[in-house]
Amino acid sequence: MPIEKTLSIIKPDATKRNLTGLINAKFEKSGLKIIAQKRLQLTRSMAEKFYEVHKDRPFYNDLIDFMISGPVVVQVLQGENAVKLNRIIMGATNPEEAEEGTIRNEFAESIEANSVHGSDSLENANAEITFFFANIELI
């Protein structure tokens, strides 16, 4: 299987509850390596740009408010099939539908405050990684 990189974001609901380490442990236990990581306060314009694909969805404005409501941890995860594997570790968008043992099943507060973001395709992963990181930051 190919070695891939994917972008992950630990969202404000999770950083507020000090869950960064527990979430990172799930990635590492599943064989994903955290090859870059930084804690940021997103500005409104950064969050709007990052979630631009959702700008016509009814939840867009609330999502932006939520994403800037506290710090996030942006990170690059690397491993075999990293894009799909991370989506499995995260669980479904709606925590009520997320499988047992997934991050969203264990930690999410709601369909909006669902603790993590993960890229949904290799193409989007590359674009999202470039949004937050320079190549020399990926170790």
Select 21 or 114, whichever has its Cβ closest to Mg ion: 114
User: Is 54 designated active site?
Assistant: no
Site mask for Mg ion (CB under 5 A), range 31-70, x = bound? ----------------------------------------
User: Which of Mg ion, ligand ADP, none interacts with 41 (beta carbon under 5 to 8 A by kind)?
Assistant: none
Strand partners, 6: 77
Instruction: Name the catalytic one among 5, 11, 104, 117.
Output: 117
Stretch binding Mg ion (CB under 5 A), from 20-28, 29-37, 70-78, 114-122: 114-122
Q: Which residues contact 56 (CB under 8 A, 6 or more apart)?
A: none
Task: Name the residues that contact ligand ADP, by CB under 6 A.
Answer: 54, 59, 63, 93, 111-112, 114, 117, 120
Query: CA torsion, points 55, 23, 81, 97, in degrees to nearest 10?
Result: -60
CB of 111 to ligand ADP, least distance (A): 5
CB of 120 to Mg ion, least distance (A): 5
Contact set with Mg ion (CB under 5 A): 120
Catalytic residue ranges: 117
